[in-house]
Amino acid sequence: MRTLHRLFTILQNPLFFCCLLLLPISALAQKNASANATSAPDWKLSTTVGGVELYYRIAACGSQKIALLKFVNTNNKAVTISWNEAFDVSGANGTAKRSGQAKKQLVVAPGKTEQVDCQTDPQKGMVARPAQETPVSTEDVSDFRFTNVTVTK
């Protein structure tokens, strides 16, 4: 009887109900945090030139796979980086290698410059797709390479 009375007293405590309400919220927050930790982008280091690390990752952009670019400038001042692009692509006609004809150029501040998605292109040239070279291309990028990279300080 005494145990039943103690349980009844605990159930009447408003603090108990607040804790009971917060439990599902806490569990949901932990689930979201672990999902975000496991869904971090898989950047691949392509090369390092003149204190700049050049990364890429293949990502979906609508129905097409493209390459997103990231640069990490370890210098203490901005540098100008220029490069050409080379793609391995797959499409209706099988697989092929493509080379970008136009040389791209970008001023990179110290630190990280990253393209997070294909919808926003905050700095021209941070999204690489074969369609930039061939406007009617519907090919998917399966691999990407930086070529002819130069860094000017």
Q: Please write the tens of the pLDDT for every residue from 29-71.
A: 555 444 444 466 799 999 999 999 999 999 998 888 999 999 9
Which is nearest to 68 in space by CA: 81, 57, 60?
57
b/e 12-49 (16+ beta carbons within 10 angstroms → b): eeeeeeeeeeeeeeeeeeeeeeeeeeeeeeeeeebeee
β-bridge mates for residue 136, sequence order: none
More confident residue, 31 or 102: 102
7-16 CB contacts, 8 Å cutoff, 24+ apart = none
Share of the chain above pLDDT 70, in %: 66
pLDDT score recorded for residue 45 = 97
pLDDT of 20 > 80? The answer is no
* pTM (2 d.p.): 0.68
Annotated domain spans of the chain: 2-38, 44-152
CATH 3.40.190 for domain 44-152, yes or no, is no
Q: How far is CA 132 from CA 9, 61, 105, 110, in A?
A: 71, 14, 15, 28
Rounded distance between C-alpha atoms, residue 141 and residue 153, angstroms:
31
Residue corresponding to tokens 């890429």: 56
Q: Are 129 and 68 in contact (CB under 8 A)?
A: no
